[in-house]
Structure 1
Amino acid sequence: MRGISFWFFGLAVLCALIGMGWGIQMSATHNHDLSPAHAHLNLIGWVGFAIAGFYYHLVPAAADHWLARVHFGVAVLGLVLIVPGIVQALQQTGETLAKAGSVLTLVSMVIFAVTVVKTRAS
C-alpha cells in the first residue's frame, strides 16, 4: 500500500488506536458523556478512512487522480473539526466546529462519490 491509500489507511489505524484509548478511558471513569464524539472518531476516522484507503489501493486510477488528494485533505480537516466540535456541542460551549466539520465531512464524501463514479470503469 502506497501513496494516498497508505495515508488514508494509516490515519484510519491512528484513529482506531485513539478511539480505543478514549473508550477505555470512558469505561474506566464510568463517564460516557462524550460517547457521541468517540463514536464519530471511530466511524469517520477508522471505518470511513479505512474504506477509502482500501478503495484507493484497489483502484489505482482513482488514487493517481488529483481529486484523491483533495478528498484526503478535506476529509482530514472535517474529522479534525467535527470530533472536538461534538465535544464542544455536548459541553454546550458552541457548535461552530461541529457544523463546519459536518459540512466538510459531507463534502469529502461527495468528492469520494465523484471519484468512485469517475473511476467505475477502471
Structure 2
Amino acid sequence: MPNTGMSHKLARAVGDHGEEIAANLASEWGWQIIERNWRCQWGEIDLVARDGSTLVVVEVKTRRSARFGAPVEAVTRAKLGRLRRLAWAYAREHKVQASLIRVDVIGIMLRPGAEPLVQHLRGVA
C-alpha cells in the first residue's frame, strides 16, 4: 500500500466499510452474496455473488477523497487479470456451475456528511 498517511488500521476500516456498502447494494440489486473476503494462495476476492446464473466476482475499492483519483482507477489491468484467475479458482474449488463468470468493480467514495458516491463497472475482465 502506498504511503498515503493513513494507518493500516484506518485503511482496513475504510475498506471494510466500503465492502459492507457494496454487499448491501448488491443485495438490493437482487444478487445473492455467497462469500466475502475469500482467500486462496493467489489472492483475495472481496465479494462473490450470484446474479441469476452468473457468478460475479467483485473488487471493491473505497476512498475518502479524490486526491489519488477515483476508486475504480486503482484497479489495474494486472489486478483485473488476477481477479479473472481467482474467479475461475473459486469456481473450481467450490464446484460452482456458473453459466457465466463476470468480474465487476465497485468504487465507493466516502463523503463526510453525504451519501457515498458509488460507481459500478460490470464485466470488466
The two structures share one fold, judged by TM-score above 0.5: no
Greater radius of gyration (CA) = 1
Higher relative CO (CA 8 A, sep ≥ 6), structure 1 or 2? 1
Structure (1 or 2) with the greater strand fraction: 2
**TM-score of the two chains, using structure 2 as the length reference:** 0.29
